[in-house]
Amino acid sequence: MSLDPLPKYRFLVTLDPGDAYLPAAQALLLPLAASGAFQEVTGLGAQLEVTSYPEGGRNDSVHQLPLRHSWNRITLKRGVVRDPGLWSWYQAGLADSLGARRDGAVIVLGPDGAPGAAWAFHGGLAAKWTGPDLHGEQNAIAIESLEIAHEGLTKVVQDAAASALPRQIQGR
């Protein structure tokens, strides 16, 4: 196991089937995987809201007390492709009052292609879809993005990430 930093340009994004959260009839309506390569993944993070609490008679410091924890939205950016997988997931969430939840993972690959680090997200909802900016004077790829609101991230240990790799559905 190398302790060198991992390159940020080699990664996989996976989506598990929606059957863990939906009734079987609705889960069948969602495609198992959305195809397409992602150019960028952002939002792997969280924050703890803290409040200051001054204690009477103590003038040298202020207590910092935790209030609530929140997770950042994960944003996937990719070139526009004709496969409707991610769009179908977003639309399914609009039709169901609880949304179309899915678990998934972001896996960073080492130089040898083996998983080096991974984060699993839980109860993800396709919360925001953004279409491409179109410019007639530019010769660039049309980029769309999808924001995933989720209920938590779990850092996956390296051995578990490596054993999960063959079942991965969607690639970099």
Phi first, then psi: give them for residue 147, nearest 5 degrees.
-100, 135
pLDDT value at residue 2: 63
Degrees to nearest 5, angle at CA 7 with 73 and 47: 30
Phi then psi dihedrals of residue 133, to 5 deg: -85, 125
Mean pLDDT to the nearest integer, 44-66: 94
List, as one string, the DSSP characters of 53-91: EPPTT--S--EEEEEEEEEPPEEEEEE--S--HHHHHHH
d(CA 40, CA 145): 9
**Per-residue pLDDT tens over the stretch 82-112:** 777 788 888 888 887 666 888 888 888 888 8
Q: What pLDDT is recorded for position 60?
A: 92
Under 8 Å between Cβ of 33 and 170? yes
User: Is the model's pLDDT at 145 over the cut of 80?
Assistant: yes
**What is the pLDDT at residue 84?**
76
User: At residue 66, does pLDDT exceed 90?
Assistant: yes
